[in-house]
Structures are given as structure tokens and as C-alpha cells.
Amino acid sequence: MELPQMSELMGVSLLLGLLALMATAAVARGWLRAEEETSGRPAGQKANGFPLDKSSRSKKQKQQQHIRKEKPQQHNFTHRLLAAALKSHSGNISCMDFSSNGKYLATCADDRTVRIWSTKDFLQREHRSMRANVELDHATLVRFSPDCRAFIVWLANGDTLRVFKMTKREDGGYTFTATPEDFPKKHKAPVINIGIADTGKFIMTASSDTTVLIWNLKGRVLSTINTNQMNNAHAAISPCSRFVASCGFTPDVKVWEVCFGKKGDFQEVVRAFELKGHSAAVHFFAFSNDSRRMASVSKDGTWKLWDTDVEYKQQQDPYLLRTGRFEEASTIPCRLALSPDAQVLALASGSSIHLYNTRRGEKEECFEQVHGECITDLSFDITGRLLASCGDRAVRLFHNSPGHRAVVEEMQSLLKRTSNESTRRRLQQQLTQAQEALKSLGALKK
């Protein structure tokens, strides 16, 4: 009698289990149907049709949360001569340019923006800037127009020039509008620098092969220069707008004159002069504000200061004024900036900056690890009182203490040779101002 009872109990249990499985399946089917209706696709399936693995989904969510939490940290730098740090870009800054009227600084970064900073805010706590967006691209180089009503940029992906016009609003701000058409593509190698002549007569672009192009403002090529230097490391327009110069693999700096007629019509580009004296490739060069001095730095481990105020049409060569040692240049590429009065030379290697007095050839200041990346641009403002550098997401501005010392030395020397009372008063006033500036910076040498 026990066996039949056992079989009946087992049958009931199996029946109950089957009913429970059927109920569970029905609930699951309803849940899946609801998921499909809300998401528009079967649950557990990606938008591209592939099944979504639960473990990978949870890993991705954790990674995204991790990325959101860990923002890239800003490089910290402090120094007694640091005047300010401009921090509004979210990407690394590649280039900057001071306007000719001294009111603005333009910076461009890989965050697809160009920022225009007010120089009068540099020594204030708040640093205001205006943003211009670069649509579907980013700028690697930026230059103001001479009238400060426009700026040009070189597009990283478009490989061409774009012009932005600046229109002043009633509230004092600016509206930035890109012109309808970019310049035509002409370069076959990456562009290393651009410039606009202060006369407004031409634009220069230089690429890393041996090509320098001279354009008119409407985007037509006026002349093509073959530098014959194996490759171009740097090229620039002189502040006087007469000359275009380049350096590269060869141990010299070549200078051309861009000639225009009396009516402003372009005529030709002719060879002017060369800076000869280095024994290896030239990394970089710069002009003084009056174009009468040039400085160069070479792979031979030296920097040189030149007098270029010569009658080159009479076959007169530039004069070498000073040679200084800079060993870092022999191992890594360097940049330089020459103060407007040619009294101070700033050399950048890696993320460090070195300041030299050009009259004595001595190093006076050194700023180590200024940026989190290699320095990409270096420039004095038009007054020569501040030196700006960029390399990460910030622009750092330094007081030019060697420049003030140079003024002190020059004024003291002139006072010894001057007997005119009114001239002595003027020189003494300039001497006192420079000494007070050094004292306020804690840089006055006893």
C-alpha cells in the first residue's frame, strides 16, 4: 500500500513543479515584451544588434564614472617672478599672439576655441577672455591683423587659413565671424608658422618642407619661396614688414625682401642677406621690434645676437654682436623670444625658460618646469615688461626683471657721459623707475 501512495505524491509534486515553471516563463515573457516596447529593441541587445554582455556593461559604466571623476589635473607652478596664469582653455595651447595695439592676447588650443584676453587684466585677480569657436576643427596657429579687427588661424584638419572678423558689440564685447570661404589649400607639408605684415599688404605661411608662400589678403598666392634648406624649422615676417626670414637644416638664417611698388602693388621677392656664423642647424630666430636686431639659436649649442641694420644692397653683411652658450640646444629643439629693445633673450627648451642679458651674454633667470608639456610658444608683450609662455592648458606671464636691470645699466652708463641737465633729469627718472620696479619684484641686486 505504501508504493502506490508514494507514486501519487511524486506525481502531484511533478505537476506542481511544472505549473511553477510555466508561471515563471510567462512572467519572464511579459517582462521581455515590456522591455522591447520601451527600448524599441529586444532586451539584452545593443543598438547595433549585438548581444550586450552584462559584465562588460557594468565595466563600461564603472569606467565612465571613473573618467568623469578623474579630470586631468592642471600643472602647478610658482615663482617670485610669476605675474599671472591664464586658465580658461580646456585643451593644450599651441600658439599665442599679442595685438599691435597692446590691448589683447590671442590664444588657440585643441579645444576648438580661440580666446582673446584683455592685457589690462593680467595683473588683476580676474582674467577676462572672449571665446571664438572654430567649427568642426581646431586652430594650431593664430595671428592678429594689424588693425586688430580680425585674426587668422591655421586649421589643423583643414590644412588651410581661416579669417575671423571681430565686430564690437554695444556691451563692449566682440562677435567673431568666420569669412564664408577659407584660403585654398597649397601646402604639401605641415605648416609651422603664419604671419601678417604690419602694413597689411601680405600674409606669409611656411611649411616644414622648404616652402614659404606669400599671399595677398584675398587668398591669392603672390610668390612661392624655396628656401633650399632641406627643411624649414621656423619662418617669420619682420616687424617692419620688409622682410621674410627662414631657418632650418642649414647653419644659417636666410632673409628675403618682399617688394611692393609706390601704388602698393606687389612686385617681387628678392634675396636680402643671411646670418652666417653657426656651425649646425638653426632651431629658431627672432627680430627686435625695430627689425634692426636679430637673435638665433642653433644645434651647435650657441645663441647669437646680430646687427641687421645694414645696406644689404651694397653687399654689406650683418654684424655679429654677441655669442652665448646654451648647451640644451645641442640635444633638443629650442625656441627663443627677443625683447622689443633687444636687451633680453628668452630661450625655451622642453618645459624650462632661460633669460639672458644680451649686452653681457650672461644668464640672469631660469624657470624650471613651467608647464606640464613642452613649451609651444614664447613671446614678450609690446612693452617688454612681461614674458608669456604656453605649453599646457595655461598661459604663464613673467615679470621681465632682466629687462629692468638692463635699463638700470644703460641709464647709469649714459648718466656718466651726459652733462646736459635736462637730459640727466630724464635719465635719472628712468633709472629710478627701473630700480623701483626691481625692488617691488624683490629682484634688486645689492
Q: Render pLDDT for 371-384 as a digit per residue (tens, 0 to 9).
A: 999 999 999 999 99
Which DSSP state fits 156? T
Q: Give me the mean pLDDT over the 23-49 stretch.
A: 47
Q: Which of 400, 418, 433 marks a domain boundary?
A: 400
Task: Give helix 421-440 / helix 401-417 axis angle, nearest 10°.
Answer: 160
Determine, yes or no, domain membership for 211: yes
The total number of structural domains in the chain stands at: 2
Does residue 40 fall inside a structural domain? no
Say whether both 382 and 425 belong to one domain: no
- Does 396 share its domain with 412? no
SS3 424: helix
CATH number at residue 392: 2.130.10.10
Alpha-carbon dihedral angle through residues 383, 392, 303, 276, given to the nearest 10 degrees: -100
pLDDT over 90 at 173, yes or no = no
Kindly tell me if the per-residue pLDDT of 40 is higher than 60: no
Number of Cβ within 10 Å of residue 213's Cβ equals 22
> How confident is residue 11, by pLDDT bands cut at 50, 70 and 90?
low
**Residue 311 main-chain phi, psi, to 5 deg:** -90, 80
Residue 374 lies in a domain: yes
Question: Nearest 10 degrees: CA dihedral of 429, 432, 437, 441?
Answer: 180
The answer to whether residue 11 sits within a structural domain is no
244-293 confidence digits (pLDDT tens): 999 999 999 999 999 999 998 999 999 999 999 999 999 999 999 999 99
Question: Do residues 434 and 349 both lie within one domain?
Answer: no
Evaluated on CA atoms 233, 239, 241, 242, the torsion sign reads: negative
Q: Is residue 18 part of a domain?
A: no
Q: Is residue 262 domain-shared with residue 345, that is, in the same domain?
A: yes
Neighbour-count burial of 137, counting CB atoms closer than 10 A to its CB (0-12 exposed, 13-18 middle, 19+ buried): middle
Are 148 and 171 in the same domain? yes
Same domain, 255 and 177: yes
- For residue 170, the model assigns a pLDDT of 84
pLDDT of residue 444: 72
How high is the pLDDT of residue 310?
A: 92
Q: 155 vs 50, 100, 124, 183, CA distance in Å?
A: 38, 23, 32, 10
Residue 352, domain member (yes or no): yes
Question: Do 101 and 126 sit in the same domain of this protein?
Answer: yes
- pLDDT value at 64 more than 80: no
The reply to whether 156 falls in a domain is yes
- CA–CA separation, 225 and 186 (whole Å): 13
Identify residue 263 by its one-letter amino acid code. Answer: K
How much is the average pLDDT of 193-203?
A: 96
Average pLDDT of span 118-127: 92
Asked, for residue 3, whether it belongs to a domain, the answer is no
Separation between Cα atoms, residue 138 and residue 283, nearest integer Å: 26
Question: 277 with 415, same domain?
Answer: no
CA–CA gap between residue 397 and residue 60 (Å, rounded): 41
Q: Do 305 and 431 reside in the same domain of the chain?
A: no
Looking at the structure, do residues 382 and 418 belong to the same domain, yes or no? no
Q: Output the nine-digit C-alpha cell for 53.
A: 554582455
Residues 390 and 358 in one domain: yes
* pLDDT attached to residue 8: 58
CB 319 within 8 A of CB 309: no
Cell, residue 247: 631657418
- Residue 141 and residue 96: Cα distance in Å, rounded? 7
| Structural domain containing residue 416 | 408-441
In the predicted model, is pLDDT for residue 10 greater than 90?
Answer: no
> Which of 408, 406, 401 lies closest to 427, judged by CA?
408
CA distance 150 to 139: 15
| Same domain flag for 221 and 349 | yes
Cβ contact 163:147 at 8 Å: no
Least-confidence region, from 107-116, 235-244, 320-329, 403-412: 403-412
Q: Residue 363 corresponds to which amino acid?
A: K
Q: Could you give the CA distance from residue 21 to residue 116 in angstroms, rounded to a whole number?
A: 70
